[in-house]
Chains A and B, each alone.
Chain A
Amino acid sequence: MLRPVTRFEARDLGAPRAGEILADTFTSVVEEARSPTGATEPAAALALAAARESLDHAGIVLSSLPPSSGVVLGTCLGGAEATFEWLRGQGQSSHPYRVSSGPLSAPTDHLADAFGLGGPVVTLSTAGASGTAAVATAAECIRRGEADTMLAGGVDVLSRFVLAGFWLLRALASGEVRPFDRRRDGLALGEGAGILVLEEREQALRRGAAVLAQVQGSGSSGDAHHMTGPSPEGDGVVRAALAALRDGGCSPEKVDFVSAHGTGTRFNDRMETIALKRVFGEAAYRIPVDSIKPIVGHTLGAAGALEAILCVRAIGEAIVPPTIHYGEPDPECDLDYVPNEARRCRVRRALSCSSALAGNNAALLLEAP
Chain B
Amino acid sequence: MRFVLLEPAPVVAAVAVLTPLGEDVAAITGESPLRFRRMDRYESLGFAAVDLALRKANAAPSKRGDAEWGLLLGSSCGCFASNAEFFFDLERRPAPELSPALFSRTVSNAVNGEISIAHQIGGVNQTFVSGWAAGGEALAEAAALLADGKARWVVAGGIEAPDDVLRRMHAAARREPGMDWLPQEIAEGAAACVLTTEESAAGHLRLRAFGRGRDPRGTWSLASALDALGALDLQRILVANTVPPRLLDRWRGEGTGADFTVLPDRTGEIGAAGAPVAVALASPVHQGALIIARAREGGTVALALGP
Contacts and interface: CB of A to CB of B under 8 A. Distances in A.
B279 interface: no
B106 to A, nearest CB: 7
A225 interface: yes
A222 B117 CA distance: 9
Interface centre among B65, B83, B297 (most CB of A within 10 A): B297
Interface centre among B84, B215, B216 (most CB of A within 10 A): B216
A165 B109 contact: no
A168 B104 CA distance: 10
A195 to B, nearest CB: 17
Contacts of B94: 12
A170 B212 CA distance: 41
Given A80-B80, A227-B117, A360-B109, A145 B87 contact: no
Contact of A221 (B67, B106, B129): B67
Interface of A: 12-13, 68, 70, 75-78, 80, 83-84, 86-88, 91, 94-95, 98-105, 108-109, 112-113, 117-127, 133, 137, 140, 144-147, 160-161, 164-170, 219-228, 231, 235-236, 239, 243, 247, 356-361
Contacts of B9: none
B86 interface: yes
A100 B296 CA distance: 7
B98 A168 contact: yes
A120 B78 CA distance: 20
Contacts, number: 251
Contacts of A226: 117
Contact of B95 (A13, A87, A91, A219): A13
Contacts of A166: 103
Given A99-B173, A100-B296, A359-B113, A127 B4 contact: no
Contacts of B212: 119-122, 146
Nearest to B179: A99
Given A101-B132, A223-B65, A125 B117 contact: no
26 contacts: A68-B213, A70-B214, A77-B83, A83-B165, A87-B165, A99-B297, A104-B76, A105-B299, A118-B214, A121-B212, A122-B212, A123-B130, A125-B78, A126-B126, A146-B211, A161-B90, A165-B103, A166-B103, A169-B104, A222-B71, A224-B117, A225-B117, A231-B65, A243-B67, A359-B116, A360-B126
